[in-house]
């Protein structure tokens, strides 16, 4: 996006953002249409069963693993939003990067996330999903602490590209693992209560994701208030630079540690889910 603003704006950032967002919107519409026309429902509706809203809510309330997943969704999306929301400030003020560097930075973040999602697919076949998610968060927490001590500034731009790339490969594990566990929690609830509430489960999950968007925006605003942030390279103080660095390092670390703590109570390991899958197949055949 920074590159598009520079190339399409002709020196006018407002015009550059309008044209850049327009291009991204066209791409998004095409991708949404492809999803709409090509995705097919694989599970017959009669298999899902028909339940009243009250029965759905009752099933959700009794599914303690889903409630854990909602908390985890809130924590994980805070990580992405706090770090992502602070990237441009970090690039501009702490690393003193140009528009080209910013584009390269965001591209490396995206590529690393895709690589992470591809790598974790193979790892999850060999390592228990809950354990892998748990240790992924511990590794990311350790990386966050280490990043706090890495020197910053224009001279260290390449170093930070490498560090962010490695961090985002591992961070790319999280969404894949998280939504796998969401599906596990849905199966667990059906196994436990006999009520399949997939739609409502994911609706509640989306609600908690929206809460995380709100809370992360509040956290970012609070940090800026506490460090007396003022826009402009010449207005940055040691406190504001530390606050911006905090958003990329120690703040995400806190949420990763909380995620790891919540995962200690997760019972959706591979052995448990294999047994649940067998039980559900047996019920369907009986």
Q: What is the pLDDT of residue 286?
A: 63
Q: How far apart are CA 53 and CA 59, in angstroms?
A: 10
Q: Is the pLDDT of residue 88 over 70?
A: yes
pLDDT more than 90, % of the chain: 74
Q: Is the pLDDT of residue 110 over 90?
A: yes
Is 47 within a domain?
Answer: no
Q: What is the mean pLDDT of residues 16-33?
A: 95
Q: What is the mean pLDDT of residues 148-153?
A: 95
Q: Is the pLDDT of residue 95 over 90?
A: yes
Is 74 within a domain?
Answer: yes
Residues 1 and 131 in one domain: no
Q: What is the mean pLDDT of residues 74-94?
A: 95
Q: In angstroms, what is the C-alpha Rg of the chain?
A: 22
Residues 80 and 124 in one domain: yes
Q: Give the total residue count for the chain.
A: 286
Q: What is the pLDDT of residue 43?
A: 66
Lowest mean pLDDT segment, chosen from 111-125, 140-154, 186-200, 224-238: 186-200
Residues 30 and 97 in one domain: no
Residues 25 and 67 in one domain: no
User: How sure is the predictor about 83, in pLDDT bands with cuts at 50, 70 and 90?
Assistant: very high
Give Cα 106 distance to the centre of its chain: 15
Q: What is the mean pLDDT of residues 260-274?
A: 94
Residues 122 and 99 in one domain: yes
What is the pTM for the complete model shown?
Answer: 0.84
Pick from 78, 178, 192, 197: nearest CA to 130: 178
Is 58 within a domain?
Answer: yes
Residues 107 and 226 in one domain: yes
Residues 149 and 186 in one domain: yes
Tokens standing for 123?
């790892």
Q: How far apart are CA 113 and CA 125, in angstroms?
A: 19
DSSP for 77-108?
HHHHHHHHHHHHHIIIIIS---HHHHHHHHHH
Pick from 202, 196, 200, 183: nearest CA to 50: 196
User: How sure is the predictor about 25, in pLDDT bands with cuts at 50, 70 and 90?
Assistant: very high
Residues 3 and 90 in one domain: no
Q: Is the pLDDT of residue 162 over 90?
A: yes
Q: What is the pLDDT of residue 61?
A: 83
Is 45 within a domain?
Answer: no
Residues 128 and 13 in one domain: no
Q: How far apart are CA 252 and CA 168, in angstroms?
A: 12
Domain coverage including residue 16:
1-40
Q: How many independent structural domains does the chain possess?
A: 2
Q: What is the mean pLDDT of residues 225-253?
A: 94
Q: Is the pLDDT of residue 11 over 80?
A: yes
Q: What is the pLDDT of residue 49?
A: 59
Q: Is the pLDDT of residue 57 over 80?
A: no
Q: Mean pLDDT in the chain?
A: 91
Residues 99 and 206 in one domain: yes
Contacts of 194 (CB under 8 A, 6+ apart): 59
Q: How far apart are CA 286 and CA 281, in angstroms?
A: 9
Q: How far apart are CA 241 and CA 251, in angstroms?
A: 14
Lowest mean pLDDT segment, chosen from 137-146, 151-160, 228-237, 247-256: 228-237
Q: What is the pLDDT of residue 47?
A: 57
Count the Cβ atoms, other than its own, within 10 Å of residue 142.
13
Residues 189 and 237 in one domain: yes
Q: What is the CATH number of the domain that holds 183?
A: 1.20.1250.20
Q: What is the mean pLDDT of residues 223-242?
A: 93
pLDDT top residue among 284 and 179: 179
Q: What is the pLDDT of residue 50?
A: 66
Residues 36 and 56 in one domain: no
Q: Is 153 left (phi over 0), alpha (psi -120 to 50) or beta?
A: left
φ/ψ (deg, to 5) at 265: -100, 5
Alpha-helical runs (H) found in 39-156: 45-48, 53-62, 64-89, 99-126, 129-148
Which position has the token pair 């298999």? Answer: 47
């Amino acid at each position: 996006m920074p590159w598009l603003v520079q190339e399409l704006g002709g020196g006018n950032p407002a015009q550059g953002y309008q044209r850049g967002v327009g291009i991204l919107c066209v791409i998004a519409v095409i991708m949404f249409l492809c999803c709409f026309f090509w995705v097919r429902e694989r599970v017959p509706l009669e298999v899902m069963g028909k339940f009243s809203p009250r029965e759905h809510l009752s099933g959700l309330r009794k599914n303690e693993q889903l409630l854990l997943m909602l908390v985890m969704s809130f924590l994980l999306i805070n990580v992405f939003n706090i770090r992502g929301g602070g990237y441009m400030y970090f690039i501009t003020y702490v690393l003193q990067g140009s528009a080209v560097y910013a584009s390269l930075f965001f591209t490396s973040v995206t590529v690393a996330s895709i690589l992470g999602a591809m790598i974790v697919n193979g790892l999850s076949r060999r390592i228990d999903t809950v354990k892998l998610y748990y240790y992924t968060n511990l590794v990311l927490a350790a990386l966050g602490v280490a990043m706090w001590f890495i020197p910053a500034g224009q001279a260290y731009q390449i170093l930070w590209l490498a560090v962010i790339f490695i961090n985002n490969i591992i961070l790319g594990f999280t969404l894949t693992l998280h939504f796998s566990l969401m599906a596990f929690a849905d199966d667990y609830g059906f196994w436990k209560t006999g009520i399949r509430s997939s739609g409502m489960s994911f609706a509640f999950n989306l609600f908690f994701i929206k809460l995380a968007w709100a809370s992360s925006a509040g956290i970012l605003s609070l940090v800026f208030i506490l460090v007396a942030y003022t826009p402009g390279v010449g207005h940055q103080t040691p406190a504001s630079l530390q606050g911006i660095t905090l958003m990329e390092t120690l703040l995400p670390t806190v949420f990763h540690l909380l995620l790891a703590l919540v995962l200690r109570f997760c019972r959706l390991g591979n052995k448990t889910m294999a047994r649940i899958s067998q039980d559900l197949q047996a019920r369907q055949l009986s």
